[in-house]
A and B are shown apart, each in its own frame.
Chain A
Amino acid sequence: DGGITQSPKYLFRKEGQNVTLSCEQNLNHDAMYWYRQDPGQGLRLIYYSQIVNDLQKGDIAEGYSVSREKKESFPLTVTSAQKNPTAFYLCASSIVGTSYSYNEQFFGPGTRLTVL
Chain B
Amino acid sequence: AQKITQTQPGMFVQEKEAVTLDCTYDTSDPSYGLFWYKQPSSGEMIFLIYQGSYDQQNATEGRYSLNFQKARKSANLVISASQLGDSAMYFCAMREVMNTGFQKLVFGTGTRLLVSP
Contacts and interface: CB of A to CB of B under 8 A. Distances in A.
A42 B109 contact: yes
Contacts of A58: 104
Interface of B is mostly: strand
B43 interface: yes
Given A100-B31, A109-B44, A42 B4 contact: yes
Contacts of B42: 109
Given A42-B110, A110-B44, A105 B101 contact: no
Given A42-B91, A102-B52, A48 B102 contact: yes
Contact of B50 (A43, A44, A104, A110): A104
Interface residues of B, number: 28
B35 A104 contact: yes
B84 interface: no
A90 B105 CA distance: 13
B43 A106 contact: no
Interface residues of A, number: 30
B109 A40 contact: yes
A69 to B, nearest CB: 20
Interface in A1-55: 31, 33, 40-45, 48, 50
B107 interface: yes
B8 to A, nearest CB: 13
